[in-house]
Amino acid sequence: MPILRLDRFISNNTEYSRSQIKDLIKHNRVLVDNVVVKKSDIKVDTERSNILVDGKTISEFGLRYYMMYKPSGVVCSTDDSKSTTVIDLLPENLKDKNLFPAGRLDKDSEGFVLLTNDGDFSHKILSAKNHVAKYYIVRLARPFQADYIEKFSKGIELSNGEVCLPSRVIQWEGSQYYAVIELYEGKYHQIKRMFASVGNHVEYLFRFQIGNLALNQNLTKGSVLEVLHKELPEILKNTDTKFFEKDFQTKISSFITNIEL
């Protein structure tokens, strides 16, 4: 039976340090078999006990989250006989950890894909009712028209009659061929079909942010960076008021100018 001190087991399998774990315990955030734990040095049977931190089960590998900069030509799936998948791009030590993409980008789209082994979290960020925004930059074949703003805000009807949730779209201040769109759902080829409905065409699509967490601009195409547990609330944060803020515009400009779009 693998018996270990609780704080050692948590620190081995999460990013928390021993002192942070003490603090978590002090604030009743650690449960073993549904009982709030008061001491960090208790011994636990790591195979049989259910150890929860903030409601999340900690297991041997733990629940992990990685930010990937997906390049074009790669599919957001765990297995594909014809194309390279996001899993193929992972470093060897992460390939067999049951990670999967939480949401999809098209094969020819690029940008932020979250890879995780946490099904609940994935569901949370994908379900429209949880209101986690995804932000995309698109390069258009024809100039952005001012009436897109109202049309998108009313809910675009796609060519097959499906109606999208209301969404916000703005033209990037630097060019009439670039737009930024906020979505709370993920229908098949949604953005491409939305712009097709208003008579335009998406030439290039790049996701730069999920919730309030932006793609790290030091990441190179195809590489990954671990997203720490303490950063997860950023992903879930309500970003309604951020869209029109100056900082958001600065961020968009920085992505458009630093990343080859």
Residues marked active site are found at: 106
57: β partners: 52
Question: Considering only residues 58, 132, 205, 224, which one is a binding residue for ligand URA as defined by CB under 6 A?
Answer: 205
Nearer Cβ to ligand URA (56/221):
221
- From residue 121 to residue 160, the character string flagging contacts with ligand URA as x (rule: CB under 6 A) and all else as - is ----------------------------------------
Q: Which CB, 105 or 235, lies closer to ligand URA?
A: 105
CA angle 186, 187, 192 (to 5 degrees): 100
Residue 98 per-residue DSSP state = -
Residue number with CB closer to ligand URA (97 or 243)? 243
Amino acid identity for residue 256 in this structure: I
Q: Are strands 110-116 and 65-70 parallel, antiparallel or unpaired?
A: antiparallel
Number of residues written out for the chain: 261
Q: How far is the CB of 83 from ligand URA (least distance, A)?
A: 14
Does position 105 interact with ligand URA (CB under 6 A)? The reply is yes
- Token pair 């967490």 is at which residue? 213
CB of 190 to ligand URA, least distance (A): 4
> Which token pair is 210?
């999920």
Smallest distance, Å, CB 260 to ligand URA? 17
- Least separation in angstroms between residue 189's CB and ligand URA is 4
Token pair 């109202």 is found at: 150
Task: State which of residues 13, 40, 46, 109 lies at the interface with ligand URA (CB under 6 A).
Answer: 109
- Is residue 209 a contact residue for ligand URA (CB under 6 A)? no
For 46-83, strand residue ranges (E) read 51-53, 56-57, 65-70, 74-75
Alpha-carbon distance of 108 to 74, in angstroms, equals 7
- CB of 228: closest distance to ligand URA in angstroms? 26
Pick the closest to residue 111 from 200, 198, 180, 201 (CA basis). 180
Q: C-beta of 196: minimal distance to ligand URA in Å? A: 9
> Angle 132-138-141 (CA atoms, 0-180°, nearest 5)?
150
User: Helix axis angle, 18-26 relative to 6-13, nearest 10°?
Assistant: 120
Structure tokens at 220: 């190179």
Residue 203 binds to ligand URA (criterion: CB under 6 A): no
Q: Which two tokens stand for residue 163?
A: 């109606």
Interface size with ligand URA, residues (CB under 6 A): 8
> Which of residues 88 and 203 has its CB atom nearest to ligand URA in the complex?
203
x-or-dash pattern for ligand URA, window 156-195, by CB under 6 A?
---------------------------------xxxx---
Binding site for ligand URA (CB under 6 A): 105-106, 109, 189-192, 205
